[in-house]
Amino acid sequence: MPPYGYRVENRKLLVDEDATAHVRWIFARFLEIGSCTELAREVGARGIRTPRGNWIDKKYIYRMLSNRAYIGEAVHKGDSYPGEHDAIVDCEMWDKVHVILQESPRRRAARTRADTPALLKGLLFGPDGAAFSPTHTRKGDRLYRYYVSQTVLKHGAGSCPIGRVPAGKIEAAVIDQLRAVFRQPEIVAGTLRVARAQDEEITEADARTALQQLDPLWDELFPAEQARIVALLVERVAIGVDGLNVRLRVDGLSGLTREMLAGGIGEAA
């Protein structure tokens, strides 16, 4: 099979004009987001598939980004040589992509942490039922993120017993509760019931393993992926003077389980 974006005629690689634009977009988009996981999701949303009609996953994306055929080279026994085919991607873009790929997933995630989306946007509510909105301030080079009550924004300080909360602390508290939930037998059992309605072959061991895998994997996920998972799992977070109440989506847990079993969560190195 020729690399995606090429076709074979008379034993030579020729550029497939219909697929070339997809290849260039994939390289350019990776430069913007730096995540094979997120890129695979966007590729799927665009309906782009392999020449055999299969969905393009993060591993396929990583192989594409690492294939020197796209810069007009041929590889034999680990060494690359100028090929007889035309390049699809220029060397400048290739080099920029590989600067990113040389970093570990954990370091890449940490590098984008300053742009962390508000994990609880649209999910956090105060004791009076009003929503909390994300905001931030800067002092020097430091960024301080908060969630502020809509009641306070409309009626001023003192109008709600909890006016604002530090974003990092409240998000960490919710994530800690999620991690604890993944280990609870009754949650695993409930998740299994819903998941098996979609796939009868999923076992209790599958469900338990999939949910537990997310705990050590969490810190390596990109912020956008973390936000997507929180939105998938959490229906509502109620904050009160006595603590938090996190309401989960059981259907979200089952969907996440199926994603984990299919290898759809996590970042290619």
pLDDT the model gives residue 267: 45
Confidence of residue 108 (pLDDT cuts 50, 70, 90): low
Q: What is the pLDDT, as a whole number, of residue 268?
A: 40
pLDDT of 69 > 70? The answer is yes
- For residue 267, being part of any structural domain is answered with no
103 vs 108: CA distance, rounded Å: 6
Whether the CB-CB separation of 164 and 148 falls below 8 Å is answered with yes
**pLDDT band at 139, cuts 50/70/90?**
confident
3-class SS of residue 174: helix
| 121 neighbors 147 (Cβ within 8 angstroms) | no
Q: What is the pLDDT of residues 1-57, one digit of tens each?
A: 889 999 998 888 999 988 999 999 999 999 888 888 888 888 988 889 988 888 899
Does a structural domain hold residue 168? yes
Mean pLDDT of 242-264: 74
Domain endpoint, select from 77, 102, 127: 102
Residue 71 pLDDT: 93
Contacts of 121 by beta carbon, 8 Å cutoff, 6+ apart: 133, 134, 227
Instruction: Give per-residue pLDDT as tens, 260-269.
Output: 666 555 544 3
Q: Which tens digits make up the pLDDT trace of 200-231? A: 677 777 767 776 677 766 776 767 777 888 88
> Residue 73 in contact with residue 11, Cβ under 8 Å?
no
Between helix 204-217 and helix 250-261 the angle, nearest 10°, is: 90
Q: Is residue 107 part of a domain?
A: no
Separation of alpha carbons 127 and 81, rounded Å: 66
pLDDT at 88 over 90: yes
pLDDT for res 31: 86
Is the domain of 13 the same as that of 126?
A: no
What pLDDT sits at residue 26?
94
Give the pLDDT mean for 96-113: 69
Q: What is the DSSP pairing of strand 79-82 with strand 243-248?
A: unpaired
Is residue 93 domain-shared with residue 148, that is, in the same domain? no
For residue 21, give its domain range.
Answer: 6-102
Residues 123, 238 within the same domain: yes
Query: How many other β-carbons are positioned within 10 Å of the β-carbon of residue 3?
Result: 18
Last residue of a domain, one of 71, 102, 133: 102
Instruction: Report whether 81 contacts 74 (CB < 8 A).
Output: yes
Looking at the 3D structure of the chain, how many domains does it have? 2
Domain termination site, one of 70, 102, 134: 102
Q: Do 118 and 98 share a structural domain?
A: no
Can you give the pLDDT at residue 238?
93
Is the pLDDT assigned to residue 79 strictly greater than 50?
A: yes
Confidence of residue 195 (pLDDT cuts 50, 70, 90): low
Beta strands in 77-227 (DSSP E): 79-82, 124-125, 132-139, 142-149, 164-166
- With respect to residue 217, please indicate whether it lies within any of the assigned structural domains: yes
- Nearby residues of 128 by Cβ (< 8 Å), 6 or more positions away: 149, 151, 160, 161
Confidence of residue 77 (pLDDT cuts 50, 70, 90): confident
pTM summary value: 0.52
* Per-residue pLDDT at 269: 37
